[in-house]
Amino acid sequence: MLKDALMQNKLMKIYGFSLLITVVAFASAGLANESENTSQRNPKMVDNPEPVTNDDTSLIPKTTFEGAVLEFDFPSLHIGVAEYEEGPTGCTVFYFPNSAKSVVDIRGGLPGTIQGIAAADGGISAICFAGGSLYGLEAATGVSAEIFAQNGYSSIHGVRGAIIYDFFRDNWIYPDKALGRAALRAAKPGVFPLGARGAGRSATCGKWLLKPFQSESAGQGGAFRQTGPTKVAVFSVVNSLGAIMNRHGEVVRGHYNPQTGKRHTLKDVVNVPPSDDNGANPSVGNTTLTLVVTNQKVNLDELRQLAKHVHSSMTRAIYPFHTSVDGDVLYAVTTDEVDNPDINHFVLSHIASELAWDAVLNCFEKGEPENP
């Protein structure tokens, strides 16, 4: 009993220390230039003398939605989505009721995470993606608190989280602890809302080319494949500086020119007029969050390599990607349920990489261009 108590105390210190280091590091990097960059991202935020916030608004979590969904068969993964329509903003929670193990791969210059360091790799109960920039990390603490309560306030349940910047609006409402708890309560297997839902509620993409080009709304996408007993799913919240590319190398979302009705790749930039504002720089509020989940048994080293492989492959779907003003984060998770000899980790990485491209392409509604 004494040994168990000492081990639990050690685990609590490790989780607490890694959480503190991650939050402090992000705050130092991100908030250092926050005031400098806010007006560039959304002048309305600066001009509004009385901003609308969580503290002065009665917020009601929304956890049921209409519209496109991905339906899939993965009983050991539960997904919950919750939004504040008043933002609009939201969070998306991936819950593993039987626990699982995870690793993280971080690219780009401006990530924001909880437990987003390699030292936190290992056992996991949930992963929470949220809007709200740094403040949206609070949603992950709500997920952790709700799991704690549902398990009779026993043991330590690891929750990892990451955020996107979605304050392209006229208020400061963010996914808070209550929204994280609501998302966890709503979590169920087999259904994932697509498009501008959850953490992707106010996401945008294609912000590298400046005026007259426009960014467009994006959101969260998912894809699933089963080969024999092996299940693989990929989910991505796209809020990228880069535009979304199809498998023919064409831009299908972002970098939209309303004057011509066309979207442009970066290779087109030498043939298009320069920005109306020669002093402007690309927006700094960008991040793509991705989760790869499999039930195939793989060790941590193989899982780390899978994460690197898939994250690198996503440059085919989003370009440019992993820039100094993106905060791209990918978590890879295994529930360690099956040992399929027909699928080694090389094949697993290939399958997951193709699914990641599908997930990005499923993050927005097809049809007419949409302004964010």
pLDDT in tens, 267-301: 776 555 555 555 556 778 899 999 999 999 999 99
Label residues 80-115 b or e (16+ Cβ within 10 Å = b). bbbbbeebbbbbbbbbbbeebbbbbbbbbebbbbbb
Q: What is the pLDDT of residues 51-85, one digit of tens each?
A: 899 999 999 999 999 999 999 999 999 999 999 99
pLDDT band at 45 (very low <50, low <70, confident <90, very high): low
Q: Retrieve residue 3's tokens.
A: 């040994």
Does the model's pTM come out above 0.85?
yes
Label residues 266-300 b or e (16+ Cβ within 10 Å = b). eeeeeeeeeeeeeeeebbbbbbbbbbbbbbbebee
323 carries an active-site annotation: no
29: Cβ–Cβ under 8 A, 6 or more apart, which residues?
A: 109, 110
pLDDT band at 143 (very low <50, low <70, confident <90, very high): very high
- Determine phi and psi for 139, rounding to 5 degrees: -60, -35
The residue among 4 and 39 whose pLDDT is bigger is 4
The residue among 35 and 180 whose pLDDT is bigger is 180
Give the containing element (helix H, strand E) for 137.
Answer: none
pLDDT band at 48 (very low <50, low <70, confident <90, very high): low
The residue among 94 and 29 whose pLDDT is bigger is 94
User: Rounded distance, CA 234 to CA 294, Å?
Assistant: 9
pLDDT band at 94 (very low <50, low <70, confident <90, very high): very high
Which 3 state secondary structure label does DSSP give 57?
coil
Question: Would the pLDDT of 122 be above 90?
Answer: yes
> What angle, rounded to 10 degrees, do the helices at 345-361 and 300-313 form?
40
Q: What is the pLDDT of residues 230-260, one digit of tens each?
A: 999 999 999 999 999 999 999 999 999 999 9
CA 299 to chain CA centroid, Å, is 24
Position 372: which residue type? P
Quote the pLDDT of residue 160: 98
Of these ranges, 41-50, 208-217, 310-319, the one predicted with the greatest mean pLDDT is 310-319
**Mean per-residue pLDDT of the chain:** 87
Kindly state the greatest CA–CA separation across the chain.
72
112-132 mean pLDDT = 96
203-217 mean pLDDT = 91
Quote the pLDDT of residue 267: 72
Question: Would the pLDDT of 32 be above 80?
Answer: no
Position 313: which residue type? S
Which CATH superfamily groups domain 2-361? L-amino peptidase D-ALA esterase/amidase (3.60.70.12)
The pairing of beta strand 329-338 with beta strand 287-296? parallel
Tell me how far CA of residue 58 lies from CA of 52, 80, 85, in angstroms: 11, 22, 11
Quote the pLDDT of residue 121: 95
Quote the pLDDT of residue 51: 83
86-106 mean pLDDT = 97
Q: Retrieve residue 96's tokens.
A: 């593993």
pLDDT band at 7 (very low <50, low <70, confident <90, very high): very low
Catalytic residue, candidates 22, 204, 230, 287: 287
